[in-house]
Amino acid sequence: DGGITQSPKYLFRKEGQNVTLSCEQNLNHDAMYWYRQDPGQGLRLIYYSQIVNDFQKGDIAEGYSVSREKKESFPLTVTSAQKNPTAFYLCASSMTGEGEQFFGPGTRLTVL
Protein backbone atom coordinates (compact mmCIF):
# COMPACT_ATOMS: atom_id res chain seq x y z
CA ASP A 1 0.00 0.00 0.00
CA GLY A 2 1.27 3.46 -0.88
CA GLY A 3 0.99 6.12 1.77
CA ILE A 4 2.45 8.15 4.57
CA THR A 5 3.12 6.76 8.01
CA GLN A 6 3.77 8.72 11.17
CA SER A 7 4.95 7.42 14.49
CA PRO A 8 4.25 7.37 17.27
CA LYS A 9 0.52 8.08 17.30
CA TYR A 10 0.73 9.57 20.80
CA LEU A 11 3.81 11.07 22.43
CA PHE A 12 4.29 12.47 25.89
CA ARG A 13 7.20 14.70 26.72
CA LYS A 14 8.47 16.30 29.86
CA GLU A 15 9.35 19.95 29.74
CA GLY A 16 12.94 20.49 28.69
CA GLN A 17 13.17 17.36 26.57
CA ASN A 18 13.65 17.12 22.83
CA VAL A 19 11.48 14.62 20.98
CA THR A 20 11.57 13.38 17.41
CA LEU A 21 8.50 12.57 15.33
CA SER A 22 8.87 10.15 12.46
CA CYS A 23 7.40 10.52 8.97
CA GLU A 24 7.91 8.05 6.13
CA GLN A 25 6.35 7.96 2.66
CA ASN A 26 6.48 5.42 -0.14
CA LEU A 27 4.67 7.54 -2.73
CA ASN A 28 7.94 8.56 -4.41
CA HIS A 29 7.07 12.19 -3.71
CA ASP A 30 9.83 14.76 -3.84
CA ALA A 31 8.30 17.27 -1.45
CA MET A 32 7.48 16.71 2.21
CA TYR A 33 5.96 18.99 4.81
CA TRP A 34 5.32 19.30 8.53
CA TYR A 35 2.24 21.08 9.83
CA ARG A 36 1.01 21.87 13.30
CA GLN A 37 -2.70 21.79 14.10
CA ASP A 38 -4.21 23.41 17.18
CA PRO A 39 -7.89 23.17 18.18
CA GLY A 40 -10.10 25.50 16.17
CA GLN A 41 -7.28 26.53 13.89
CA GLY A 42 -6.17 25.62 10.43
CA LEU A 43 -2.90 23.91 9.60
CA ARG A 44 0.26 25.95 10.02
CA LEU A 45 3.43 25.08 8.11
CA ILE A 46 6.52 24.34 10.23
CA TYR A 47 9.09 23.14 7.66
CA TYR A 48 9.12 21.80 4.15
CA SER A 49 11.60 20.02 1.93
CA GLN A 50 11.55 19.84 -1.85
CA ILE A 51 14.59 17.63 -2.27
CA VAL A 52 16.93 15.44 -0.26
CA ASN A 53 19.40 17.37 1.92
CA ASP A 54 17.46 20.60 1.51
CA PHE A 55 14.68 22.07 3.65
CA GLN A 56 13.16 25.46 4.31
CA LYS A 57 11.44 27.13 7.24
CA GLY A 58 7.69 27.57 7.14
CA ASP A 59 5.59 30.06 9.05
CA ILE A 60 6.26 28.73 12.57
CA ALA A 61 9.72 27.08 12.49
CA GLU A 62 11.02 28.44 15.80
CA GLY A 63 11.72 25.64 18.28
CA TYR A 64 11.66 22.91 15.62
CA SER A 65 14.29 21.23 13.47
CA VAL A 66 14.18 18.74 10.59
CA SER A 67 16.44 16.64 8.40
CA ARG A 68 16.00 15.08 4.97
CA GLU A 69 18.70 12.48 4.46
CA LYS A 70 16.47 10.15 2.44
CA LYS A 71 13.69 10.88 -0.03
CA GLU A 72 11.29 8.71 1.96
CA SER A 73 11.92 10.19 5.40
CA PHE A 74 11.42 13.62 6.97
CA PRO A 75 11.70 13.51 10.77
CA LEU A 76 10.74 16.48 12.92
CA THR A 77 12.43 17.30 16.22
CA VAL A 78 10.53 19.39 18.71
CA THR A 79 13.17 21.04 20.86
CA SER A 80 12.95 22.39 24.37
CA ALA A 81 13.01 25.87 22.82
CA GLN A 82 9.45 25.39 21.54
CA LYS A 83 7.41 27.18 24.17
CA ASN A 84 4.04 25.58 23.56
CA PRO A 85 4.60 22.23 21.83
CA THR A 86 1.37 20.45 22.80
CA ALA A 87 -0.44 19.98 19.47
CA PHE A 88 -1.36 17.56 16.70
CA TYR A 89 1.48 17.24 14.18
CA LEU A 90 0.80 16.30 10.57
CA CYS A 91 3.26 15.24 7.92
CA ALA A 92 2.38 15.53 4.23
CA SER A 93 3.97 14.91 0.86
CA SER A 94 3.40 15.92 -2.74
CA MET A 95 4.96 15.90 -6.14
CA THR A 96 6.97 19.11 -6.60
CA GLY A 97 4.82 21.81 -8.14
CA GLU A 98 1.55 20.06 -7.36
CA GLY A 99 -1.01 21.61 -5.05
CA GLU A 100 -2.39 18.27 -3.87
CA GLN A 101 -0.78 17.15 -0.63
CA PHE A 102 -1.28 13.76 0.97
CA PHE A 103 -1.35 13.63 4.74
CA GLY A 104 -0.26 11.07 7.28
CA PRO A 105 -2.41 10.05 10.27
CA GLY A 106 -0.72 12.50 12.65
CA THR A 107 1.09 12.43 15.98
CA ARG A 108 -0.46 13.95 19.07
CA LEU A 109 2.25 15.43 21.28
CA THR A 110 1.49 16.31 24.88
CA VAL A 111 3.93 18.06 27.16
CA LEU A 112 3.51 17.08 30.78
Partner 1 sequence: QQQVKQSPQSLIVQKGGISIINCAYENTAFDYFPWYQQFPGKGPALLIAIRPDVSEKKEGRFTISFNKSAKQFSLHIMDSQPGDSATYFCAAAIPMDTGRRALTFGSGTRLQVQP
Per CB under 8 A, residues contacting partner 1 are 4, 6, 31, 40-43, 45, 48, 50, 56, 90, 92, 94, 96-106, 108
Rg (CA), the chain: 13
At 62, the amino acid letter reads E
Q: Measured from the CB of residue 35, what is the shortest distance to partner 1 in angstroms?
A: 8
Q: Measured from the CB of residue 56, what is the shortest distance to partner 1 in angstroms?
A: 8
* Cβ atoms of residues 6 and 104 within 8 Å: yes
* Cβ atoms of residues 19 and 77 within 8 Å: yes
Closest CA to 46 of 28, 31, 30, 33: 33
Q: Which is nearer to partner 1, 63 or 106 (CB)?
A: 106
Q: Measured from the CB of residue 42, what is the shortest distance to partner 1 in angstroms?
A: 4
Q: Which is nearer to partner 1, 16 or 39 (CB)?
A: 39
